Every structure is written in structure tokens, then in C-alpha cells.
Amino acid sequence: MRSSKISSKIWIYVLLLVGVVISIAPFYWMIVGSTLKSGEIFHIPPKILPGDHLAENFKSFNDSLGIVKIFWNSLFIAVVFTVLSTLICSMAGYAFAKFRFRGRNLIFFVILCSLMIPYQVTLIPLFEMMVSFNWLNTYQAIILPSLASPFAIYLMRQNMKAVPDSLIEASRVDGAGELRIFFTVILPVVRPALAAVSIFLFMSQWNSLIWPLITLNSKEMFTLPVALSSLIGMARIDYGQVMLGTALSTIPIMIIFLLMQKHFISGILGGSVKE
């Protein structure tokens, strides 16, 4: 009986190890490919060790598109968007969770229904608005249209509903205003949800392609996804540059998620509380 349990555990660990290898293999190949020449990437048998062309690929990418500026554009847009959107969605979630006003449930229902509307449906109206505002090829055209995320509002509302009303009432009795209560009482309590929402918003903006591709028309304003799409569209595709750009766009997300995965999981689970 004991030997059968040991053998079953061994098989479980073997299957888990196989799953880990399958999951990690594409990322490892992406990093290795960024150090190889374009022709070496398709070499048979494939090279599994890093090459010595990383600096050359970096220089070629930087000369053709300006990798430092592109990385800065992506980082600046993602960070500013994450901070503003997290603040707006947290305030909206607090209002829906703890304030009583006419039409509250109806407005929240409409926000939830907007999750079912494909994002592509809004592209043409948003583009016409950006043209009328003369915002094409600007940071605000990328950041402002999607600041209010329905999913983030929902997640913050669900977490804030779990905050005891007595805690808020005690703060009001002590003379605290609503903004002070929000920043000093509510936000510290729902810190895991804030981390989850921040990761979700940062990833969505960092990986965004369709909207920046439509509104940005100069290399100086390109983000990493747009720059990578322009490389794929060239007559001669340098896959070493593509692999390098993909690695640069993926590694920051992986690092952030690994550092904050505990808060991300607890924040998502906190949003599953029932009313």
C-alpha cells in the first residue's frame, strides 16, 4: 500500500515537471532567440544555448526603431494609466459598495453589462472623438479612453463590501471626511485587491496593441507591441530583433507578477465574497 502511494506521488511529480517544462520552454526559447542571428533561429537541430548576438540584435533594433524610447513610452503610459485607473476604479468601487443613492444598482448593472460589449465595437467612435479633440499620436489618446475599467470597478466593489461599516462610522465620528476615510481606512484594508487591480490594469495597458496601433503614427510614440507589429510587417523579418523585443515586453510583466502574485491571488479571491 505504501509503495503504491509513493509510486503515485512520483507520477504526479513527473507530470507536474513535464507541465512546467512545457510552460517554460517557449519563454526560454524566446530569450535564447534574442541572442541568435535570424538564420540561426531556424537551425536544425535548434540551438538550445544562448548565442553571442544579443548586442548586435539590440543595436539593430535600436537603430531601426529606437528601443530605449519605445520602452520608455510603454513604461510611462502603463504606469500613468495604472495609477489613474486604479484610483478612479477604487473610488467608484467605494461609492457602489458603501454609499446609498438612487439608481446605484441600475448604474452598476449597466457597468457590468458593458463587459459583454466587444472592445472593437467602440474603436470607431473613440477614434472619431480623438480626431475631434486633436489627440491623435499623443499620450492622452492612449491613456484616457479606458481609465474606467468595469472589471476593476467590480473587483474593488466586491472587496470593499467586506469592509465593516462600523469601521467607517467610527472614522466619521472621529471627524474624518470621506476622502480621508477612503485613503487612510479603506485602501489599507483592501491592499491585496489594489495589488490585483494594479497588476491587471498594468498588464492590459502594457500588452495593448489595437488601440495604440490605430492612434499612433510616428515611431517616436510607438509602444513595444506596436513596434513589434511593425517589425513583422516588414518585407524582411529579422526574427532576432522580434525575439529581443518580445523578451523586453514579457520579462517586466513576469517579474511584476512573480513579486506580487500573493497579493494578486488574495485580491481576486477577496472579490468572490457574497453579498
Name the band, by pLDDT with cuts 50, 70 and 90, for residue 5. confident
5 located within any domain:
no
The crossing angle, in degrees rounded to 10, of helices 239-270 and 2-33 is: 130
Place of cell 485613503: 183
| Distance separating alpha carbons of residues 111 and 154, to the nearest angstrom | 9
Whether 39 is covered by a domain: the verdict is: no
Which is it for the CA torsion 169, 99, 262, 266, positive or negative?
A: positive
77-86 as b/e, with b when 16 or more CB fall inside 10 Å? bbeebbeebb
Per the structure block, which three cell numbers stand in for 84?
A: 489613474
Residue with cell 467590480: 154
Residue 35, in any domain of the structure: no
Coil, helix or strand at residue 82:
helix
Q: What range defines the domain where residue 212 resides? A: 54-270
C-alpha cell at 90: 477604487
Q: Is the pLDDT of residue 201 over 90?
A: yes
Tell me, yes or no, whether 40 lies in a domain.
Answer: no
- Which H/E stretch holds residue 123? helix 123-133
- The CATH number of the domain holding residue 88 is 1.10.3720.10
9 domain residue, yes or no: no
pLDDT reading at 275 higher than 50:
no
Side-chain half-sphere CA neighbours of 227 within 13 A: 29
Number of domains comprising the chain: 1
The grid cell for 189 is: 484594508
Entry pTM: 0.84
Cell of 13: 511529480
Any domain includes 45: no
In the block, which residue shows the cell 499623443? 138
Comparing 11-25, 182-196, 239-253, the range with the smallest average pLDDT is 239-253
Rounded Cα–Cα distance for residues 246 and 251 (Å): 9
Give pLDDT tens digits for 138-163.
999 999 999 999 999 999 999 899 88
Report the mean per-residue pLDDT for the chain. Answer: 86
The pLDDT confidence band at residue 268, using thresholds 50, 70 and 90, is: low
Any domain includes 183: yes
Is residue 83 in a domain? yes
Distance from the Cα of residue 220 to its chain's centroid: 22
